[in-house]
Structure 1
Amino acid sequence: MPARFPDKTVAANASDSSSDSLPRTCCLLVARNGRDVWTIGSNVILKNKVHYPGCDVEVANLDFVSEQIETPVSKILYSWRESDRLYTLQERVAGVPLADALPRLSQKDLARIGEQLGSFLAQLRGITNQTMQMLDGRTVIDRRLLKPLAAASEREQEPKVISTDEGVAEALALRIRGHVDETTLARLMARMPTATPFTFSHSDLHEGNVMVSDGQFTGLIDWELAGFYPVWWETVNATPVLDGHLPEELGHPDALKWFDVYHAVRDAPESHETLEKLQEYLGS
């Protein structure tokens, strides 16, 4: 099952490859979008990707999380730049992705995994910040929340610092202005649930990043998108596979309903289904 709100700008250009011709001690797991992930032995992985400003964000995120919560996370062993590539050696999280394990898991297993993952997310939720940002101060980079703006004039209107509900609403409204009339836009944005406190979120909870073993949650992988997001973003953006299995107190059903409408207006404004969804939501 794909992400609830997939980032189509990446999916359109994605290509996968793998190799089974190498010895098992060194195996290519993923080659996608200029990024390779290799296993080295049983307990270490090597990530290799194009270097660009801010590309070492996952290293900073994992170091930060390891200092903030009690539950262990994958430890960065060594990271370095070589020519135009960034290499990172880190501990391998035990188990397999939830996506691979799903056919063998019972509802009882999923309930247990959801509870254990929920306990982990609750620890992250205790880490808050006054502004919506990455650890290095940049605006959050998950394009499923802040879709890239094409026009330079729009980018100039983007709030430089987002520290209030009004700032979040302004940034999100900028991405659908012109898709609906101003009155409808104002009505929709007025119903956006409060985004504060901005909480540290993994921001990529799909079944490929949730690791499990023997019906137990073992950890999360791929922390590149993590940062301080709206308090509701983590569970709103989580894979539907987890619906009904995460602790109720972590859920934000009003935010999920609102973002579902917002997402439709943003990404499919001319769809008849979007119009019906919007009218039903604003009329409720």
Structure 2
Amino acid sequence: MTNPYETDPEKIPSTDPYADVPFYGRYRPRPGDFRVDLQHVNSHSTDSLRYWASVVSLCTEENRIYPADEGGRDVFALGSVIVKSSHLHARAGAQSTEIDFSYADANEHRAITLAKTVLKDVKVPEIYFAGKINGRQVLVQERLPGVALCVARPYLSRDQRDSYKEQARKILHQLHTIKPPENLQARSHVVSDPNILSNGRINPLEGDILFSGTNHDPDMSFMHNDLTESNCIVDNGIIVGLIDWEMAGFFGWKTAGEVHRRIRTPQREHFVNVNLREEQLQGILYWNDLYDQDVSKN
């Protein structure tokens, strides 16, 4: 039986759902891994920008783990770092069609800082650089050791999956103890993007859920807002890390839960024309009810 936490590409079976991208969601540090030069961390000096441009140049199709649509950013696994960049995308004439990710990156940075105040046993990535390289917004962050839950899931028992769900709920409750600034009266990402409803960063349905109607929740608190299996890093039965904080913000429990159920996870109606046993369907949908728990429970 395959080890759910296997990270050696040579030991991943050809039947693995991610066999064609063996570095996706799998990482164990090795002596020869690329590591950032710490003198350039979060620096925008001329020398540092030249250094970060050289880092981006190391990101190729060979180490790309997520190819984005036009306007988005590809994701690369470069040794001990993750790089988000659109440099492999062709420009449309003289103008770039890339979405403005500067607010997303600022939101990720600020959200991670907040998360560190309550997540003592769950690691979050360090941000090494966020800024423009050759006119494109680039984010370089720490690559957390472990395996993404979505990668490990095919090899987990039901009890193991249930354990991870309960751990994730505890993490949500920890984050939910962080209250918004006193002057914040409406739902908001940690760093507000003034063009969030029109620049393509979020699904229109998500925009309706978060920012239409009263735009206020009585229990507004800090939420990761993208707690999918792919963003939970696990190892030997424990959630050891949490990544991708760009959607984090101050929302109510029910609001974040609605985004989770309707956008972040598959829904039963998606499979009405597929001949699946109920047991198979339950396995696909098992992460949907993550928020279906009284917010007051710990």
Within the alignment, does 1:48 sit opposite 2:85 as a pair?
yes
CA contact (8 A) 1:205 1:237 kept: no
The 2-side partners of 1:245 and 1:232 are apart by 11
Change (3 A) 1:19 1:210: closer
Aligned residue for 2:190?
135
Is the CA contact 1:201–1:234 (under 8 Å) kept in the aligned structure 2?
yes
Does the C-alpha gap of structure 1 residues 109 and 250 become closer, same or farther in structure 2, counting only changes over 3 Å? farther
Unaligned 5+ segments in structure 1 are 1-17, 149-161, 172-193, 253-284
Q: Deviation string for 1:202-230 (max 9, x for gaps)?
A: 11222222222233222222222111122
| 1:93 maps to amino acid | L
How far apart, CA to CA, are the structure 2 residues paired with 1:127 and 1:60? 13
Matched, 1:104 2:155: yes
1:67 Cα offset (Å): 4.0
TM-score of the superposed pair, with normalisation by structure 1: 0.56
Counterpart-to-counterpart distance in 2, 1:221 and 1:146? 22
- The equivalent of 1:62 in structure 2 is 112
Pick which of 219-228 and 64-73 moved more.
64-73
Distance 2:115 2:187 in 1: 17
Compared CA separation, residues 96 and 72, structure 1 to 2 (3 A)? closer
Please give the alpha-carbon distance, in whole angstroms, between the structure 2 residues aligned to 1:51 and 1:98.
28
- Aligned with 1:136: secondary structure? coil
- How far the C-alpha of 1:58 sits from its partner, in A, is 1.9
Alignment partner of 1:36 is 2:36: no
Deviation at 1:35, TM superposition (A): 0.9
CA contact (8 A) 2:123 2:242 kept: no
- Rounded to whole Å, the distance in 1 between the matches of 2:109 and 2:166 is 27
**Is the CA contact 1:125–1:201 (under 8 Å) kept in the aligned structure 2?**
yes
1:232 aligns with 2:232: no
2:173 paired with 1:122: yes
Identity of aligned residues (%): 25
Change (3 A) 1:48 1:64: farther
Q: Unaligned stretches of 5+ in structure 2?
A: 1-19, 23-31, 35-58, 87-97, 266-284
Aligned partners of 1:245, 1:226: CA distance in 2, in Å?
16
Change (3 A) 1:77 1:125: same
RMSD: 3.5
Distance 1:210 1:233, change over 3 A: farther
Partner of residue 169 from structure 1, selected from 198, 213, 217: 213
Whole-angstrom distance in 1 between the partners of 2:123 and 2:21 = 31
Shift of 1:124: 0.8
- Asked if 2 retains the 8 angstrom alpha-carbon contact of 1:114 and 1:247, the reply is no
Does the CA-based 8 Å contact 2:130-2:139 persist in structure 1? yes
> Which residue in 1 is equivalent to 2:164?
113
SS class of match (1:100): helix
1:251–1:37: structure 2 CA closer, same or farther, 3 Å change rule? Answer: farther
Describe the shift of the 1:230–1:123 C-alpha distance in structure 2 as closer, same or farther (beyond 3 A).
Answer: same
Q: In the alignment, is the contact (CA less than 8 A) between 2:224 and 2:248 conserved in 1?
A: yes
In structure 1, distance between residues paired with 2:179 and 2:147: 30
Deviation at 1:132, TM superposition (A): 0.9
AA matched with 1:132: R
* 1:1-284 alignment, distance < 5 Å: 27-33=63-69, 34-41=72-79, 43-49=80-86, 50=98, 52=100, 53-56=102-105, 57-67=107-117, 69-70=119-120, 71-129=122-180, 130=184, 131-138=186-193, 142-143=202-203, 144-147=205-208, 169-170=213-214, 195-238=217-260, 239=265, 240-243=285-288, 248-250=293-295
Matched letter for residue 145 of structure 1? E
The question of whether the paired residues in 2 share the 8 Å contact of 1:200 and 1:227 is answered with: yes
Aligned mates of 2:291, 2:99 — CA distance in 1: 36
Structure with more of its chain in helix, by fraction:
1
CA distance in 1, matches of 2:66, 2:289: 30
Tell me how far 1:104 sits from its aligned partner.
0.6
Give the drift of 1:87: 1.8
